């Protein structure tokens, strides 16, 4: 009889764990470490080394989601958010196609190395990042 009680207790605990996992969003419950803060600043330039406005730069973290920033008239962008601590992140630069560039630029990805801040534990940054973006062959020159 004690064996059945232990088995029933194990089944109950496993059931509670599964329910807890599905109620908390499934995959998100797998990450139980401490998140980190990050900041990336940089410039988007074209094939003629000119700044490009209207480019959305984004980073997607598997736990914390997506952070975006749009390039200004000088091509500058800034991203700030949370991430699972990492020394590299992949940025995606996409033409917004909102009348500034008319979707003329191809989407590009860029791997950026982050440095851990010595002053702020759990904070990572990258300054002076340059993303090179190119016109698509279908765009008007």
Confidence (pLDDT) at 118: 86
Tell me: the pLDDT tens digits for 2-45?
A: 545 434 433 333 343 333 333 334 444 455 567 899 999 999 99
* Chain mean pLDDT for the chain: 80
Residue 72, pLDDT > 60, answer: yes
Confidence (pLDDT) at 33: 67
Radius of gyration of the chain (CA): 22
Provide the edge-to-edge strand list for the sheet that holds 88-95. 65-70, 55-61, 88-95, 108-113
Assign residue 30 a region (left: φ > 0; alpha: ψ between -120 and 50; beta: otherwise).
alpha
Distances from the Cα of 48 to the Cαs of 24, 45, 51, 101, 106, in angstroms? 48, 8, 9, 15, 15
User: pTM of this prediction?
Assistant: 0.73
- The band of 138, judged by pLDDT with boundaries at 50, 70 and 90, is low
Q: How far apart are CA 130 and CA 64, in angstroms?
A: 24
Tell me: the pLDDT tens digits for 111-126?
A: 999 999 888 888 999 9
């Amino acid at each position: 009889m004690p064996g059945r009680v232990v088995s029933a207790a194990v089944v109950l605990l496993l059931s509670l764990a599964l329910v807890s996992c599905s109620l908390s969003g499934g995959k998100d419950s797998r990450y139980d470490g401490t998140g980190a803060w990050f900041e990336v600043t940089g410039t988007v330039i074209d094939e003629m080394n000119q700044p490009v406005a209207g480019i959305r730069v984004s980073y997607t973290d598997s736990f914390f989601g997506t952070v975006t920033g749009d390039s200004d008239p000088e091509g500058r962008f800034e991203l700030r958010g949370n991430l699972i601590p990492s020394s590299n992140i992949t940025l995606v630069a996409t033409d917004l196609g909102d009348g500034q560039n008319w979707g003329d630029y191809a989407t590009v990805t860029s791997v950026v190395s982050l440095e851990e801040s010595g002053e702020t534990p759990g904070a990572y940054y990258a300054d002076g990042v340059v993303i090179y973006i190119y016109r698509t062959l279908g765009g008007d020159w």
